[in-house]
Amino acid sequence: MDRRALPGAGALRRRRPGAVRDDDLERRAGDRAPAPARPGSRRYVSRPEHDHAKAGNLNHALALVRTDLVAVLDADHVPDPDFLSRTVPYFADERLALVQTPQHFYNTSSFEHLRPGVDLHEESLFYRVIQAGKHHAGAAFWCGTNAVLRVGALREVGGVATESLTEDLHTTMKLHRAGWRSTYHNEVLARGLAAGSPDAFYAQRRRWAGVRCRYCGTTTRSPPRG
């Protein structure tokens, strides 16, 4: 977990008590009972099982939250203070399930970036052009982090999908099938850690491509396993 992530979450405007989930920290911490959350505080939550990885973590948290909306940020992503104030207003639409924002990175010397010190990176085309086009077609999808989701919508479709390694895309497909809408806010509101080396980059992309390509010819009831 990036040590800037918790202060960044605490600085969010319109903030509420938060829960933190991280598999690596969880294994080191064991099953210690978390302290009660104070208003504006962050609380570390652990669970005795570690099945379904990130999807399992989120579903465990869904059983604990008492809010209408949840913001999902990977442990290396630091949100801007305006992250919530720029995304929450979209939920005036009662059938909106999620708002996704771009993924952007602060380590501009990574393998993904055009050159050190330049913001342009390998995912810029997708997040600044393709997702914007999908938004206008009503097909924007959750990308796992830098997003806000409606708790009731997730619960209606059985929580975050656990049937595949790309739980974000699979969950979006379930939400769209159930009549929920999604939107894409094309403004960088959080920054994370890009793959720093060729090995890390290709391992990540092979995992994504191997699962997502096999969605062709399948349904959300019986997705492929990675």
Active-site positions read 24, 168
CB within 8 A of 13, min separation 6: which ones?
A: 81, 82, 84, 85
Residue 135 makes CB contacts below 8 A (sequence gap 6+) with 182, 183, 184, 186
In the three-class reduction of DSSP (H, G, I as helix; E, B as strand; rest coil), residue 114 is classed as coil
Spell out a b/e string for 2-15, using b for 16 or more CB atoms within 10 Å of the CB, else e: beebbebbeebeeb
> Strand order in 181-184's β-sheet?
69-72, 147-150, 96-100, 181-184
Which tokens is 94 given? Answer: 């009662």
Q: How far apart are CA 216 and CA 194, in angstroms?
A: 28
- Nearest alpha carbon to residue 4 among 100, 71, 80, 58: 80
147-150 and 181-184 strand pairing: unpaired
